[in-house]
Homo-oligomer: A and B are copies of this chain.
Amino acid sequence: MPHGIFGVIMAGGRGTRFWPVSTRALPKQFLRLVGDRTMLQATADRFDGLLPREDLIVVTGCEHAGTVMEQLPWLDRSNLLLEPEGRNTAACIGWAAEVLRSRGFGSSLMAVVPSDHVMETDEGFRETLRAASIPASEGRLMTIGVSPDRPSSAYGYLMRGSELSPGVYDVAAFREKPDEETARGYLAAGCFYWNAGIFLWTADRILEEISLHLPRLAEGLIGMGGSLSPDAESYGVLPSVSIDYGVMEKAEAVAMVPARFSWSDVGDWPSARRCGVGRGRVIVVDSEDCTVWNEGRLTVLMGLKGVSVVETPSVTLVMSDEYSQELRKVVADLEEEAPELV
């Protein structure tokens, strides 16, 4: 390894399922949902001890440049990649890889992580990446699998294949978010892992795979030539596809290491309560499985089960758990009718 590992933090995304707290102006990853660090800050902190801060790269929407600089004031401006618009994870990752290659670090490892996940513990995270760095250096596309502790239908799954080397496994299959029964089967089978969306590989290798499976994206990235501020037109035409669907599910050299940390993607208000997300003064009468978020008010819950009560100065959301996926539609409708609220 000529240069250890670069960290690439993907900090795009709207966090729609965390509306009304997460908004276009300040999405989920920039919020203090758990503890007193924002999710972006916690994500950056997690790399301390694994790599120097100057080797951290953040990719985010250009409208959030100020927020990132404020939250990570030490970040080298040349390591802040500002997307003119979000084009999904393959473009984001490909761009970061292209920038590394253009700086002469094509053979270096890059650890790619979302900026809105919760992990215990950070040391487990670093250990896992260290374990993955050996096969990654040898050309594998490494992904991290989290042992499920419940039959969640909110995550994609990895099916563990044969052991390639101690603690490193072939990925026998990728599975989309399953229905509940299938998820129970996965849990019982014991060889399925949640796909955490955390990857490790060399910049050259992922670009090679992008060329193979997403040639139009590869072309576009080469056209951008490692620029830090591509024009909106060049970036806007990149194919919008996830790295999982576009590359990982098709590539040969994919492998996984099991996570040495417990993990949550803090995907929506109901799941957030498992991570201790919640804020405000609350009185609870005969209620369970509720999420409460308020900013300085008192929230009183009486006789509720599986409900999220989320308040901002202008909006109150009261949502039964099974509707957390519908929030997207409410926000989409409000984009038209009341853009100031989203």
CA distance A72 to B15 in the complex (A): 51
A312, closest chain B residue (CB)? B297
Q: Is the CB of A299 within 8 A of B285?
A: no
Whether the pair B302, A319 counts as a contact (CB closer than 8 A) is yes
**A121-149, CB < 8 A from B:** none
Cβ-defined contact, A300 with B316, below 8 A: yes
| Residue of A297, A302, A320, A341 most packed against chain B (CB within 10 A) | A302
Tell me the minimal C-beta distance from A326 to chain B in angstroms: 6
What 1/0 flags go to A198-224 for Cβ under 8 Å of B? 000000000000000000000000000
A304 to B326, CA, bound (A): 13
- Which residues of chain B are near A322, meaning CB under 8 Å? 303
Does any Cβ of B come within 8 Å of A338's Cβ? yes
A98: interface (CB < 8 Å): no
Within 8 A of B (CB), among A282-327: 283, 285-286, 294, 297-304, 307, 309, 311, 313-323, 326-327
Indicate if A25 sits at the interface (CB-CB under 8 A): no
Decide yes or no: A318 and B314 within 8 Å by CB, A285-B323, A302-B327 being known contacts.
no
B302–A317 touching, CB < 8 Å:
yes
- A330 CB-CB contact with B under 8 Å: yes
Closest Cβ of chain B to A127, distance in Å, is 40
Given the contacts A297-B314, A298-B314, A298-B341, A303 and B319 also touching, CB distance less than 8 Å? yes
For residue A341, which residues in chain B have a CB less than 8 angstroms away from its CB?
A: 298
The one of B294, B297, B304, B319 in contact with A300, judged by C-beta atoms closer than 8 angstroms, is: B319
Residue of B nearest to A322 (CB): B303
Which B residues are CB-close (under 8 A) to A334?
283
Q: A16 to nearest B CB, angstroms?
A: 13
Point out the residues of chain B lying under 8 angstroms from A283, CB to CB.
330, 333-334
A315 touches which of B285, B298, B333 (Cβ 8 Å): B298
Which of B315, B318, B326, B327 has a CB less than 8 Å from the CB of A318?
Answer: B318
* Contact B318 A304, beta carbon cutoff 8 Å: yes
> Is the beta-carbon distance between A307 and B318 smaller than 8 angstroms?
yes
Is B338 a contact partner of A298 (Cβ separation < 8 A)?
yes
A341 to B303, CA, bound (A): 21
Of all chain B residues, the one with the shortest Cβ separation from A321 is: B303
- CB of A292 to closest CB in B, whole Å: 9
The answer on a CB contact under 8 Å between B302 and A318 is yes
Task: Please name the residue on chain B nearest to A283 by beta carbon.
Answer: B330
Interchain CB contact under 8 A, A309 and B318: yes
Top 10 A-B pairs, shortest CB-CB distance = A303-B320, A303-B323, A302-B323, A302-B319, A300-B317, A298-B315, A299-B316, A309-B318, A301-B318, A318-B318
Beyond A297-B316, A302-B317, 19 additional pairs, beta carbon < 8 A: A20-B300, A283-B334, A285-B326, A285-B330, A294-B316, A298-B314, A298-B338, A298-B341, A299-B318, A300-B316, A300-B318, A300-B330, A302-B326, A302-B330, A303-B321, A304-B318, A304-B319, A309-B316, A311-B316
